[in-house]
Amino acid sequence: MSALPESTEVKPLTFRRYKDGDHKPLRWQEEIFDADHSHKCPTYIQSTPPCQGSCPSGEDIRGYLNIVRGIEKPPAGMPWQEYAWRRLTEANPLPSVMGRVCPAPCESGCNRNEVEDFVGINSVEHFLGEYAIANGLQFPKPEKPSGKTVAVIGGGPAGLSAAYQLARQGHAVTIFDERAELGGMMRYGIPGFRTPRTVLDAEIQRILDLGVQARMNTRIGTDITLDQIKAEFDAVFLGLGAQSGRPLPVEGADAPNCVTATAFLKAFNDGRLRHVGQRVVVVGGGDTSIDVATVARRLGHIETVRESERPEMAIAGHVAHDVASVSARQGAEVTLTSIFAVDKMQASRHEVEHALAEGIAIRGGLAPVAVVRDAGGRAVALRVVRCEATVKGGRLEIKQIEGTEEDIPADLIVSAIGQAVDFSGLEMLNNGKGGITADKNYQVKDQPGLFVGGDVVRPHLLTTAIGHGAIAADGIARFLAGEPLDKRPKIDVHTWDIQRKLVEKGLAVSEVHEPIRGTDSLNVAVHNFDNRSDRYVIPHEDLFLGHFQYTARHKRKVVTLSAEQALNNFEERVLPLTEKEAIAEAKRCMSCGLCFECDNCVVYCPQTAVFKVKKSQSTTGRYVDTDYTKCIGCHICHDVCPTGYIQMGLGE
């Protein structure tokens, strides 16, 4: 064989069990025996995939993707789209909203990233949410009321999630909210071109249709006291949210045209804010700052502004802009500054790319030091300095570079550096750090029956608030039943349930107590099965990645606008997948930690010890069985299992 030219780059193959040059197999004793026990025969281990382990709302992602792709079959008479949606909404009742705005940490954790690219989980969720709205799907109402009452304070994602989970269990739920409409930050903090109001309204109404009552324009601590609520209801959930913005901590930040992001976005979503100044400077770096910048770009400015029509007047709630004057609007110059470099900002990468395409100037490595004001006290510029920002031990350190100060001209300055909880009338709950302290069940310390969730615990994602609400609802249900609030699982997410599949297929179910081991003699499993989903997230090292072919991700169509096109354009940008695309994308899921019926173990077993279960007895997760009298412990089934579902154990 001729030698390769020196210029040819040789790349090593991936996913190989042996390296080039290896010519001897390992001693079989080393492969099978380890110290004083053996790892001889296959066991079937259900694990949590990293997408679910990364999902703040705890969705059974692998479960609904397997339904979409056709691996797990729906019950007779139910469309697969509905079955997948029902599996999804066991954890998250707002999939159409979250499918649009969640930054999808599940995709960052996806093991498919080791092959080529993550599975578009968020886009499949978006598709299912749209299907449910288009087809009028509703949540099933509980068979009978429990006789217990629960007050939910705050109608944002945490409160709606808690209300949904509690109402499903038959509890009478009443939501109290200080706003005119439910939705919290989903309605008042995110612009409508990211969360269409018709979609938000449809998903909220579906929760209310469970019998949930809503008392709007009612603020706890002002219109009614918390003690009065406690006396009227058997349990209380606090989903107060963090809807007060943090002003810039610099001199001059009290200028009237220096406002917070939450006030800016609320004024826009209320319909009061119709134009901004010619030059807008946004300070932040997260998704909220991008929302502010893109809204400002769309609103634009007008040449001649009456004193009463200044943007800060609308933001403060004193006036609503005159629609007639808006017709002459022009594009605003929008600058977004961040203490971090642009590639290190917390905002979603695709949101940053959209902002840049729309003509928004994003400048990283700048720290605000002062607001420059004119003789009348209005801000005319933001003074910034070059800086180096690092996070060490969870603490933010900012090193300013002397002599690099500059002024960025501004007619409006928006602070998007964080949010705070308004504890007016509820000061006794403040833990001194601007939040409420709770245990792992989200019960408030030393206050039985009082639970909490969402940004008031820890400002984070909308989907995190949904997860808090669900866990708190479980704690409330236990409290109402007089049961102890046990420790939560190490991996606290929804997982696929083999017993549910047996019931759906009409097969008998043995009583099983976790952990499940040695189940080949029980009818809950046809082989030795163990569900470790509550304690083990399966890494890519446990998979046979060589099974998976390169398959490009099926991406949603995203409308990208230029600076000129963005002005006055409030149309939705992210469009859902088609049904064909959603199925194709779900098929890219590697079903980490659960069988997806590829037949590898059956085909490659040299002893025919692994075989398919007959159709009358098979379900998802019970697709293959093992004749342990034939198994010789060769490990081939484990080696060729793409999903890591087959592990080695049992011994002789």
Between CA 112 and CA 630 the distance in angstroms is 34
Query: Is residue 190 predicted with pLDDT exceeding 60?
Result: yes
Other C-beta atoms within 10 Å of 580: how many?
9
For the chain, domain boundaries = 26-48+495-553+588-652, 149-242+421-480, 245-417
| DSSP conformational letter for 520 | G
Q: What are phi and psi of 208, to 5 degrees?
A: -65, -30
**Reported confidence tier of residue 318, pLDDT bands at 50, 70, 90:** low
Between CA 604 and CA 581 the distance in angstroms is 32
pLDDT at 393: 79
**Distances 370 to 112, 495, 617 between C-alpha atoms, Å:** 46, 51, 72
Between CA 212 and CA 532 the distance in angstroms is 35
Between CA 262 and CA 260 the distance in angstroms is 6
Query: Is residue 473 predicted with pLDDT exceeding 80?
Result: yes
**What are the tens digits of pLDDT across the range 8-58?**
555 555 555 566 777 776 665 555 554 444 456 888 999 999 999 999 999
Q: Cβ distance 271 to 320 under 8 Å? A: yes
Between CA 585 and CA 21 the distance in angstroms is 38
**Distances 59 to 56, 88, 368 between C-alpha atoms, Å:** 8, 6, 40
Between CA 386 and CA 365 the distance in angstroms is 6
Between CA 521 and CA 537 the distance in angstroms is 27
> 3-state class of 646 per DSSP?
strand
Query: Is residue 69 predicted with pLDDT exceeding 60?
Result: yes
Q: What are phi and psi of 281, to 5 degrees?
A: -115, 125
User: Is it true that 149-242+421-480 and 245-417 share their CATH fold?
Assistant: yes
Residues counted in the chain: 652
Q: Cβ distance 473 to 166 under 8 Å? A: yes
Between CA 460 and CA 456 the distance in angstroms is 10
pLDDT at 2: 45
pLDDT at 350: 85
Which of these, 649, 620, 637, lies nearest to 75 by C-alpha position? 620
Architecture label for domain 149-242+421-480: 3-Layer(bba) Sandwich (3.50)
Architecture label for domain 245-417: 3-Layer(bba) Sandwich (3.50)
Between CA 159 and CA 237 the distance in angstroms is 7
Beta bridge partners of 529: 44
pLDDT at 175: 98
Q: Cβ distance 345 to 338 under 8 Å? A: yes
Which of these, 78, 95, 275, 293, lies nearest to 186 by C-alpha position? 95
Lowest mean pLDDT among 252-256, 273-277, 328-332, 357-361: 328-332
List of residues 6+ apart from 415 with CB closer than 8 A: 245, 246, 247, 248, 253, 258, 259, 260, 261, 283, 284
pLDDT at 262: 93
pLDDT at 38: 46
Q: SS3 for 385-430, per residue?
A: EEEEEEEECCEEEEEECCCCCEEEECCEEEECCCEECCCCCCHHHC
Between CA 647 and CA 635 the distance in angstroms is 9
**Reported confidence tier of residue 651, pLDDT bands at 50, 70, 90:** very low
For the entire predicted model, the pTM comes to: 0.89
> 3-state class of 361 per DSSP?
strand
| DSSP conformational letter for 357 | H
- CA atoms in the 13 A half-sphere facing the CB of 411: 17
Burial class of 320 by CB neighbour count within 10 A (0 to 12, 13 to 18, 19+) = middle
Amino acid identity, position 496: W
Q: Cβ distance 567 to 301 under 8 Å? A: no
* Omega cis (within 30) before 95: no
pLDDT at 200: 98
Other C-beta atoms within 10 Å of 180: how many?
10
Which of these, 156, 407, 184, 190, lies nearest to 292 by C-alpha position? 190
Q: Cβ distance 280 to 411 under 8 Å? A: yes
Q: What is the mean pLDDT of residues 76-105?
A: 96
